[in-house]
Amino acid sequence: MANRSFHMKLADLNRLRKILVIVFESGGGLLVDRLRLKYLVPLWSRVRRWVSRPPSGPELMRMEGVQPMLSPPVLRSVLERLGPTFVKLGQVLSLRADLVGEELSAELSKLHSDVPPFPYETARRIVKEELGAFPEDLFGSFEDKPTAAASLAQVHRAFFKDGTEVAVKIQRPGIRKTIEQDIHILYYLAGLTERFVPEWRIYRPTSIVKEFADWTLRELDFSAEGRNAERFRFIFKENPSITIPKIYWEFTTPRILTMEFSHGVKSDEIERVRAFGVDTKQLASIGVDAFFRQFFIAGVFHADPHPGNFFVMPNGSLCLHDFGMVGYLDQASRRELLSCLVAFVNKDIEGYYRHLLHMAIVDDARSDVVAFQKDVAGILSEFFFADRPPSVAWAFFRVINQGAQNGIRFPGDLALFGKALVTTEAMGLKLHPGFNITEELEPFVKKALIEYCSPKKVWQRVKTDFLDAMGALTTFPERVQNVLTKIERGEIGVKLDAGDLQGIKKEFDRQNDLRILGIVLTAVVFATLGLLYLEGRTTLWGVPLSRLGIGASLVLAAWFVVRLSQGPRE
């Protein structure tokens, strides 16, 4: 898709004209002018706009000084009129307050699309195309009226022939073609924006469209959504408080997703939740613990945590739905985020800022790191030392958003994390007004640190990285020798005197010592782990061998560190 970027195709022209007419009639004439596209707006639309325009009605775009500004309410209305692709674009942008600002993000979060369900005969035909048979032949029963309808799909309740109750999600006909065409047009408009509206280049329109395209096209693949659901089932397999619907793969394709039917209620339907006899405060804690585990332990999280995707089950568990939008945090980001939270718990502003900056994307030409540091200190000081401090979620959210004001960007998944954290807190407060996410944070940080440092995790990391470490140690002398050989042959233009070469030789000897010592240390550590397993069974002079192994490991480790910190011998 990205390769097609800004080159319009003839088939896209009619759709582009319809988009421009809606934008123009909504007060976006200035924007159409700036993009050099007014010639595509029909004359009758210009006349109608001129005749019907109220004297002081809201405009989609206006100028404030030299800066073009969009009206958030009018933009939301325009996106709803433009159809499902643009509604999805607005919903994705509502998650990226770091790019569009908090005001516009809040307005776009209200987006909804009133899409009527498509006929049962159409659903029946799609089932036949995807699964090879009509619903009445595949299922014991299949309800013709959908239980839910959205812009991308609708859901039908059904029963297998053995009585198993399932939900069948069927993709709206022709939606992929429509979205792909609209994405193509969005790439074109983004290119014009970067060319003719330089004030908006800071928002990186083309990158926004690419991110949106990636999200949306993945969401259109229901098989990918099913795999995401299975991954979350694995993450929470030992947590009875979290329910993930089972996926029935023999009835799942890229356009159909068949899953276990959930008899819960939306998490914001408080009276119905209480009718289950559920402790809402405990339920809020379950939800927050589940999200923290996604973020910091698993590294994969639900990126669209609104109440409609979280059901409260009659047994008090929390059921997660709709895994079309999933965010990812790599191990390094998780470590930095956890370090941020540790610094937050300890009220360490400098430490918080330092770990946050490790995750930032800094452009030396446009990023004002000093100003950002002051902004972070101001936001955290308000939190730590005010009488009524904001929550940890809002503190993080504001810090991330403030980065854009100083030319400092953060990875998209990190911004999604901030938005998801705020939404999670809002759901917790809805369930229990006395809920405090900050109070939930401290025990989780302790628990996460213990889990990170647990023998099981350490052993997993040792097994994962052992071969790499051994390979690096084994090949180090050979790589050094290759460098020295190239220097001797004159293949590397380095001027050295005899004293320099002698220093290199001494450093080589030291590194060789370190390699041997590292191998011995690794062997002793593995031996000690084995002796720990046999704790109390094997002794020497009455002393358990495991203790001797630990002592030897500590001595060797200390020796290794000392040699590592020393330079070559004079």
Q: Are β-strands 165-171 and 310-312 bridged in parallel, bridged antiparallel, or unpaired?
A: unpaired
- 194 and 212 Cβ atoms separated by less than 8 Å: no
- Three-state helix/strand/coil letters over 495-538: CCCHHHHHHHHHHHHHHHHHHHHHHHHHHHHHHHHHHHHCCCCC
Catalytic residue among 304, 322, 375, 413: 304
What's the distance, CA 449 to chain centroid?
A: 22
Pair of tokens at residue 35: 């993009």
CA dist 320 and 5 (Å) reads 36
Nearest CA to 285 out of 347, 254, 242, 222 is that of 242
DSSP assigned state of 366: T
- 531 and 546 Cβ atoms separated by less than 8 Å: yes
CA dist 42 and 537 (Å) reads 90
What's the distance, CA 464 to chain centroid?
A: 25
Q: Provide the sign of the torsion angle of the four alpha carbons 481, 482, 484, 488, taken in this order.
A: positive
Q: How many CB atoms lie within 10 A of CB 309?
A: 17
What's the distance, CA 214 to chain centroid?
A: 13
Catalytic (active site) residue 500: no
CA dist 1 and 214 (Å) reads 9
Query: So which residues are the catalytic ones?
Result: 304
